[in-house]
Amino acid sequence: MMGNYSDHKHEHAPSGPPSPVGHGGHRHANRHDNGRIFAIAIVLNITFVVVEFGYGFAANSTALVADAGHNLSDVLGLVLAWGAAILSRKAASERYTYGLRSTSILAALANATLLLVACGAIAWEAVHRFSQPPVISGLTLTVVATAGVIINGLSAWLLLKESKDDPNIRGAYLHMAADAAVSAGVVVSGIAIVLTGWFWLDPVISLIIITVVIYSTWGLFRDSVQLILSAVPAHIDIAAIDTYLRRQPGVMDVHDLHVWGLSTTESALTVHLVMPEGYPGDTFMDEIRNTLEVQYAIHHSTLQIEQGFVSHACHIK
């Protein structure tokens, strides 16, 4: 058996631009721009949360309070996502040999969990209001919700470009976009209350809000849990990688193929290649590593060469 080969193009530097290759070869946005965008979105949404909570209580509207609670959880989610983006750039150490990249996964999971818990609390209050619908100022509901459409829509637009290659940022973008749609729904209910006096529409809209939020959050929660459990990231086709490796000249067999997420944007791979002729040379190995990075979104690959004279069974079953 020949020795191990590990690619040496690691990206653990604490400063400088991010990796130019993203999922499927796309470029990542500049992370300094991400920080500025996060700051703007957080300030806008904190201001709106304060205003919406105040008017929600004044108007006795669970729809406004529900939307404000959702926006508050989104602010916390934005802070978590921003913090994770900063920590993920920390250099590797003897203790954390991959750096703190996986904090982006923790942030995505915390964000999703926070939203689901908030939905449960708001749903409980809305259901109780069906028995005695309170008198609500439909005009106040409409005006404040209109402001929400503008603030959330602007925040979503700011995050749109940066969300394409990073699930951590994508989660924040989806929440902002969902908020804009939900606020539009609250505008409709406010107008309906003004025209009809049907105050029971307020808790109905609250439950609709919750349904939309849960629907938009569940995928993020599922993907985050899978990444924490070292599952193959959803955008990576491990079967295609296996086929590609088996087709390389000199490769007789492939085993112990493992792929997992280092963060919400970076993936790692380890694999054993059975090559009876022995080590094929650095150029051959570099070509495999580059293809794995560019075509299959594997940012850190470790390849072990075996001649097949001894069976090397994987102990992880």
Query: What pLDDT sits at residue 11?
Result: 39
Query: What pLDDT sits at residue 315?
Result: 63
Q: Are 256 and 303 in contact (CB under 8 A)?
A: no
Q: What pLDDT band is residue 3 in, cutting at 50, 70 and 90? A: very low
- Token pair for residue 31? 């992370």
Query: What pLDDT sits at residue 305?
Result: 93
Label residue 301 exposed, middle or buried (CB < 10 Å: 0-12, 13-18, 19+).
Answer: buried
Specify the higher pLDDT residue, 182 or 271. Answer: 271
* Tens digits of residue pLDDT in 268-296: 999 999 999 999 999 999 999 999 999 99
Query: What pLDDT sits at residue 270?
Result: 94
Least confident of 23-27, 65-69, 186-190: 23-27
Average pLDDT on 251-265 reads: 90
Taking 60 as the threshold, does the pLDDT of residue 166 lie above it?
yes
Instruction: Report helix, strand or coil for 99.
Output: coil
Query: What pLDDT sits at residue 180?
Result: 77
- CA–CA gap between residue 205 and residue 194 (Å, rounded): 15
- Token pair for residue 72? 């508050």
CA distances from 307 to 34, 282, 284, 286 (A): 47, 17, 16, 19
Query: What percentage of the chain exceeds 90 in pLDDT?
Result: 20
Taking 80 as the threshold, does the pLDDT of residue 147 lie above it?
yes
Taking 80 as the threshold, does the pLDDT of residue 163 lie above it?
no
Query: What pLDDT sits at residue 300?
Result: 92
Q: What pLDDT band is residue 298 in, cutting at 50, 70 and 90? A: very high
Query: What pLDDT sits at residue 20?
Result: 36
Taking 60 as the threshold, does the pLDDT of residue 258 lie above it?
yes
- CA–CA gap between residue 273 and residue 270 (Å, rounded): 10
Label residue 69 exposed, middle or buried (CB < 10 Å: 0-12, 13-18, 19+).
Answer: buried
Query: What pLDDT sits at residue 292?
Result: 95
Taking 90 as the threshold, does the pLDDT of residue 51 lie above it?
no
Which among 129, 131, 109, 114 is positioned nearest to 65, based on CA atoms? Answer: 129
What does the mean pLDDT of the chain come to? Answer: 77
Query: What percentage of the chain exceeds 70 in pLDDT?
Result: 79
Average pLDDT on 7-27 reads: 39
Query: What pLDDT sits at residue 254?
Result: 94
DSSP 8-state assignment for residue 199: T
Least confident of 17-21, 248-252, 300-304: 17-21
Query: What pLDDT sits at residue 136?
Result: 64
